[in-house]
Amino acid sequence: MNALVMDPLSWTDVGAVTDIPLRGARRVPTPAGVIAIFRTGDGKLFALKDACPHKGGPLSQGIVHGHAVACPLHNWSIDLATGHPLGADRGKGCTPVVPLEVRDGRILLGRA
């Protein structure tokens, strides 16, 4: 009955949805590296490891457009939903996706 009980992940509340600007991103440091949380123009949220599959550029610092982010170092475009590079760089590696849920306007990050 209670979704939390059945949850395979443990969730951490890292802030409110509105703490992230539209078409922007914020960072959440963890012992395993920084997690980037993106809020797209249509208000959707995505979480990825904050590292481009190309040279590890911090994706949280890129320009968010549609459901993609342009890496600030070399302008690779990364699909926020899958972590895969788009366009000409398709198929060249992948950035890990981090489980994210929104409940009552709060952002929860999952740890497997």
Partner 1 sequence: MTKERLVVIGNGMAGCRAVQEVLKRDPDRYEITIFGAEPRVNYDRIMLSPVLAGEKAFADIVINDEAWYSDNGIALHAGHAVQAIDREARVVRAEGGIEAPYDRLILATGSDPIRLPLPGADQAGVVTFRDLDDVEAMIAAAATPGAKAVVIGGGLLGIEAAYGLVRRGMAATVVHLMDVLMERQLDASASFLLTDALTDRGVETVLGAQSEEIEGADGRVTGLRLKDGQVLPCDLLVMAVGIRPNAALARAAGLEVGRGVIVDDDMRTSDPRILAVGECVEHRGQCYGLVAPIWEMCRAVGGTLTDGAQAYEGSVLSTRLKVSGVDVFSAGKFSGGEGCEDIVFRDAGRGVYKRVVLEAGRVAGAVLFGDAADGAWYFDLMRSGAEVGDIRETLIFGQTVTEGLRGLDPSAAVAAMADQAEVCGCNGVCKGTITGAIASEGLTTLESVRAVTKASASCGSCTPLVEKLLKLTLGDGFQAQTGPKPVCGCTHHGHDEARRRILAEGLKSIPAVMQALEWTTPDGCASCRPALNYYLICAWPGDYRDDKQSRFINERAHANIQKDGTFSVVPRMWGGMTSSDELRAIADVVDKFAIPAVKVTGGQRIDLLGVKKDDLPAVWADLNAAGMVSGHAYAKGLRTVKTCVGSEWCRFGTQDSTGLGVRLEKFMWGSWTPAKVKLGVSGCPRNCAEATCKDIGVVCVDSGYEIHIGGAAGLHIQGTEILTKVATEEEAVWTICAVTQLYREEGWYLERIYKWMARVGLDSIKARIENPDDRRALHDRFAYSQRFSRVDPWAERVAGRHAEEFNPLSRRMEFA
Q: Give the span between the Cα atoms of 32 and 19, in whole angstroms.
A: 23
- Is there binding between residue 93 and partner 1 (CB under 8 A)? no
Phi then psi dihedrals of residue 24, to 5 deg: -140, -175
- Is there binding between residue 99 and partner 1 (CB under 8 A)? no
Phi then psi dihedrals of residue 58, to 5 deg: -75, 105
Of residues 72 through 91, those in contact with partner 1 by CB under 8 A are: 72-73, 75, 77, 79, 81-82
Which residues of this protein are in contact with partner 1, per CB under 8 A? 1, 12-15, 18-24, 26-31, 34-35, 37, 40-44, 55-58, 61-67, 70, 72-73, 75, 77, 79, 81-82, 105, 107, 109, 111
